[in-house]
Amino acid sequence: MATDLWITGDTATDTLLGDDPFALLIGMLLDQQYPMEHAFAGPRKILDRFGTLEPRAIADADPDEFVTMATTPPAIHRYGRSMAGRVQAVARAVVDDYDGDVTRIWTEPGTSGEAPTGAEVVKRLNALPGFGTQKAQIFLALLGKQRGVEPTGWREAAGHYGDEGSRRSIADVTSAESLQEVRAFKKAAKAAAKETR
């Protein structure tokens, strides 16, 4: 069952992320080399400035004007120019592949003709511009843990991000306290990776 989100700490922004699956997907896209809560605030900035988060409108927007919107302080991301292009590319993929309905990524029947499995959802997410396997797994974990989207085998498909009680990613952020726990986990993982080099 879907619950209210706590991702950015801003009620209006978190409500948008909870109500609009495309906003949540764009937040996930922006969650890269940028603090999590700021990345997920990006869709709200786009909505406030561009006037809509409708995928077709974003995909069809003039690229130069969209970059200007994305890089106007406060920018949607540290790398606002390149991320503006990625946001438009993801919007185009959602329009072309899912007729503008982002939820079809996790609801459209799979190869079996039945509801897609967790593995199929990861494969579809992984095919989006700016996504890779890890980002796809984290987003599936976020859908499963906080939005009530639980395709068969979703925890396994999400890897360790699907683990119950973990504090690995944005999928586990439900409060200011858990945000700090996830941040501490990421910091420790980064330090451990440096030691093994």
Do the Cβ atoms of 84 and 66 come closer than 8 Å? yes
Q: Evaluate if residue 187 carries a pLDDT over 90.
A: no
What residue ranges define each of the domains in the chain, with the CATH number in brackets?
Answer: 11-164 (1.10.340.30)
Residue 160 has pLDDT above 60, yes or no: yes
Measured distance CA(23)–CA(107) in Å, rounded: 17
Show Cβ contacts of residue 61 under 8 Å, excluding neighbours closer than 6 positions: 50, 88
In this prediction the pTM is 0.94
Which residues touch 123 (CB under 8 Å, ≥6 apart)?
136
| Residue 3 confidence (pLDDT) above 70 | no
Q: Which residue has the higher pLDDT, 110 or 66?
A: 66
Instruction: Please write down the HEC assignment for all residues of 29-84.
Output: HHCCCCCHHHHCCHHHHHHHHHCCCCHHHHHHCCHHHHHHHHHCCCCCCCCHHHHH
Residue type, 134: Q
22: its two tokens: 């495309």
Average pLDDT, the chain: 94
